[in-house]
């Protein structure tokens, strides 16, 4: 507001050459790090005086309007301001008005757009909390079911099957890591259906990787052929996506077969 008020004051440029000492006495601003000779070009707009060899408008009214777009820090004690003037400001306001009209239409022409958006943000936050709570319940229920299906393959605790309750890759991963922390000598093979696509997950406890030389990434790579996919990961945890949903059951069985066969060697 202050800048635009000064622009509207119609200050004309007063440009003249002075000695460097006289310019400093007049209060001209000299940029730090710049080198000046004995004679300098002093530019004045009202109370603003600086030393500058560049071009300037003849009168501030030619600037039209001034709008700051961003302000940031570029060094200690130094700020960068990015701004536009003149027709660019008109174009900016026109684009902002178009955005506001579009938002107004999308929101059903509310009396107070800002209030409506704030309400939507609050509703989204509340919904996300409910989804998070629901996901935790689904993970807990899935973990309980899988623990009840645990079998022995030599000294390996083997859990495998398809998860119907989990609807995201993150939920499958959380379930796998929770079971890994809970069960010793664990080999976990899970088949999931995420957004209409198959997902194969294999998890090993560290001791199986070291002592049995089992590698989840290698198991996943081979078993994923059944779902026409591929993937990878680390020796203790790996996943693979694919295209063939009908092959998910076979992929789980294949992964288990590889693990059991390896452990019997």
Tokens of residue 31, six digits: 């940029």
pLDDT at 34: 73
Which domains does the chain show, CATH number per domain?
2-98 (3.30.980.10), 142-263 (3.10.310.40)
57/85 Cα distance (integer angstroms): 12
pLDDT at 166: 85
Q: What is the mean pLDDT of each run of 10 residues along the chain (265 residues)?
A: 87 88 83 76 87 84 92 90 94 94 93 94 96 92 92 91 88 93 94 93 93 92 92 93 93 92 72
> At 247, is the secondary structure helix, strand, or coil?
helix
Phi, psi (degrees; rounded to nearest 5) at 123:
-65, -40
Size (the chain), residues = 265
For residue 160, give Cα distances in angstroms to 33, 150, 195.
70, 8, 21
Crossing angle for the helix pair 87-106 and 113-148, nearest 10 degrees? 60
> Measuring CA to CA, which residue among 218, 225, 220 is closest to residue 242?
225
pLDDT at 19: 87
252 by Cβ neighbours in 10 Å (0-12 / 13-18 / 19+) ranks as buried
Q: Report helix, strand and coil shares of the chain as percent, to nearest 5.
A: 45, 30, 25
Which ranges constitute the DSSP H helices of the chain?
2-8, 20-25, 87-106, 113-148, 169-182, 206-211, 216-223, 248-263
pLDDT at 53: 74
pLDDT at 45: 87
pLDDT at 265: 64
164-195 burial, b if ≥16 CB within 10 A, otherwise e? Answer: ebbbebebbbbbbeebbeebebbbbbbbbebe
111/251 Cα distance (integer angstroms): 56
Phi-psi group of 33: left, alpha or beta (phi > 0 → left; psi -120 to 50 → alpha; rest → beta): left
pLDDT at 1: 79
For residues 66 and 7, the answer to whether their CB atoms sit within 8 Å is yes
> At 55, is the secondary structure helix, strand, or coil?
coil
Q: Which residues contact 34 (CB under 8 A, 6 or more apart)?
A: 51
32/108 Cα distance (integer angstroms): 54
Q: Which residues contact 192 (CB under 8 A, 6 or more apart)?
A: 162, 163, 166, 169, 172, 198, 199, 200, 201
């Amino acid at each position: 507001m202050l800048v635009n008020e000064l622009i509207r004051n119609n200050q004309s440029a007063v440009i003249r050459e002075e000695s460097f000492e006289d310019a400093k006495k007049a209060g001209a601003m000299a940029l730090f790090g710049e080198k000046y000779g004995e004679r300098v070009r002093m530019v004045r707009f009202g109370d603003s005086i600086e030393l500058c060899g560049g071009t300037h408008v003849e009168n501030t009214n030619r600037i039209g309007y001034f709008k700051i777009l961003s302000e940031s820090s570029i060094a200690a004690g130094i700020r960068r301001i990015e701004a536009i003037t003149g027709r660019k400001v008109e174009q900016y306001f026109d684009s902002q008005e178009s955005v506001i009209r579009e938002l107004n239409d999308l929101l059903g022409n509310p009396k107070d757009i800002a209030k409506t958006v704030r309400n939507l943000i609050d509703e989204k936050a509340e919904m996300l909390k409910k989804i998070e709570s629901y996901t935790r319940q689904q993970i807990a229920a899935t973990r309980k079911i899988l623990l009840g299906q645990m079998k022995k393959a030599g000294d390996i605790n083997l859990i495998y099957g398809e998860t119907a309750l989990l609807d995201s890759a993150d939920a499958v991963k959380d379930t796998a890591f929770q079971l890994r922390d809970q069960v010793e000598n664990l080999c976990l093979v899970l088949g999931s259906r995420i957004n209409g696509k198959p997902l194969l997950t294999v998890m090993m406890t560290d001791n199986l990787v070291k002592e049995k030389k089992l590698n989840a990434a290698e198991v996943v790579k081979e078993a994923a052929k059944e779902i026409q996919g591929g993937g990878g990961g680390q020796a203790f945890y790996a996943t693979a996506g694919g295209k063939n949903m009908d092959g998910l059951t076979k992929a789980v069985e294949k992964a288990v077969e590889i693990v059991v066969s390896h452990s019997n060697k």
